Amino acid sequence: MYKIRVSFKQKDLNVFEKLRNYSSSKNDNISKNLKLKKCLVFSKFSRYDYERYFLSKSPQNDLEFEKKVRSKGLNYDRLVEYKTMNSKFEEKVTNCLKELGIEVQVVNRLSCNTKLIEWADIIIPTGGDGTFLLAASQITDNKKIIVGFNSDPNHSEGHLCLPKKFSVNIKEAIKNLQTGNFRWLMRSRIRTKLTAQTFGKPVDLHRMNNDNLLKFNPENGTEVTLPVLALNEVFVGESLSAKASTLDINLDDSSVFTRIKSSGVCITTGTGSTSWYYSMNRLAPDYISILLRLLKSKIDNPELLENNNSLCSELADIYNKSLIFNADDKRMAYTVRDMIVAGVWPSPKGIQPRNFAKKVRLQSLCYDAGLVIDGNISFPFNNNAKATFEIHDEDALRTVIMDP
């Protein structure tokens, strides 16, 4: 019979905060005495802004706009309230910067361009993780600094932003930057190389204009490096989620390509391990409870498993925290979602549905698939298209850590 011993210690610091405070500055030779003269504030593009953008194609006054928004079943008053809140927060950030003698320009996802990124000493997104990801996607090297402020800390986790106290103490955060009172965190990003017999047109999933996509026009049959790096994850799979995705996968240049059928493959950085990767792999306490009930007949002391709600929650918490890894880790974690394991699948047998790798290669046997970077931009990935995913030091994103 099996025996179990229960000995768990409560963690005194949330795992997300531990990773937020993790520093990777040991070998960094860039000075922390920042001379901030020019700042590009990257504005949150709220749902109100989206509706204005898409409905602006037909001339209308404010009353007509409100009527159309309400006809879509949206809470117009809530959209206005949220837009106003973000605008006021952005104004506070820009005013603080100007008071400290820093020149400021404000952009959003429509107005940002390469010249403005090059102009700035620092990029400051004001919003949540989504705004941070969009701003980060404009940065292509490991020198440009990006620091995010969470504009709504009461309703947004903002894992990529500064700790929530700096949403109130904005000037303190900026002075910390100027005096070097922070640590560098170089967040790993995934570089994707793509080969396709016919390159289809990439799509911005938010249906917005994107300069990088407009310039993407490679010669068919060649291997190209995609113009966007993945800070969180790359997802590959059929566009219709109910359709199985058939892919050949190779890990770390092994001698074998394994053919799999699944709901798609997600390849994640340490930064992304707190995001979609975490959600798709986490265990709920209910699942642990079912397993413990099944174990009762296999252990010497089944009374250990009585009244096990607390034990289930703690086991689930320990397992879920184990999914998260450091943002500067040079490995990627991959997950094969809902992998079909029956008959000849996978072929050959033996591949793990979730593991780490330093290099991942995929070949498509799909009909209408997308290779989606950070849930934002989708590149067609149909039959015989090939992709290689790797992490390179020069692609890292330069962010900062400040103590909460």
Instruction: Identify the pLDDT of residue 59.
Output: 61
207 pLDDT above the threshold of 80? no
Closest CA to 134 of 401, 378, 395, 376: 376
Band of residue 83 on the pLDDT scale cut at 50, 70, 90: very high
Model pTM score: 0.90
Instruction: Identify the pLDDT of residue 307.
Output: 63
Band of residue 3 on the pLDDT scale cut at 50, 70, 90: very low
Band of residue 61 on the pLDDT scale cut at 50, 70, 90: confident
Backbone angles phi, psi at 304, to 5 degrees: -60, -25
Instruction: Identify the pLDDT of residue 215.
Output: 75
Closest CA to 182 of 290, 396, 36: 36
Residue type for position 400:
V
Assign 3-class secondary structure to 307-322: CCHHHHHHHHHHHHHH
Closest CA to 363 of 345, 341, 339, 382: 382
Instruction: Identify the pLDDT of residue 18.
Output: 55
CA distance 99 to 3: 65
212 pLDDT above the threshold of 80? no
Element of type H or E holding 334: strand 332-336
Average pLDDT of span 132-141: 94
Span 154-176, pLDDT tens digits: 888 889 999 999 999 999 999 99
- Lowest-pLDDT choice from 59-68, 267-276, 348-357, 374-383: 59-68
What token pair was written down for 109? 């996802």
Closest CA to 145 of 269, 54, 60, 34: 34
What token pair was written down for 150? 């969470």
Span 307-355, pLDDT tens digits: 677 888 888 999 999 999 999 999 999 999 999 998 899 999 999 999 9
Q: How many residues does the chain have?
A: 404
Instruction: Identify the pLDDT of residue 174.
Output: 95
What token pair was written down for 313? 């929650």
- Lowest-pLDDT choice from 35-39, 205-209, 244-248: 205-209
Cis peptide before 153 (omega within 30 of 0): no
2 pLDDT above the threshold of 80? no
143 pLDDT above the threshold of 90? yes
Residue type for position 126:
T
- Average pLDDT over the chain reads 89
Structural domains in the chain, CATH included, are 31-181 (3.40.50.10330), 190-282+323-392 (2.60.200.30)
209 pLDDT above the threshold of 70? no
Beta partners for residue 184, in sequence order: 400
12 pLDDT above the threshold of 50? no
Instruction: Identify the pLDDT of residue 295.
Output: 77
Average pLDDT of span 239-252: 96
More confident residue, 13 or 22: 22
CA distance 312 to 6: 12
What token pair was written down for 266? 């997600």
55 pLDDT above the threshold of 90? no
Instruction: Identify the pLDDT of residue 72.
Output: 92
CA distance 215 to 262: 33
Average pLDDT of span 214-225: 87
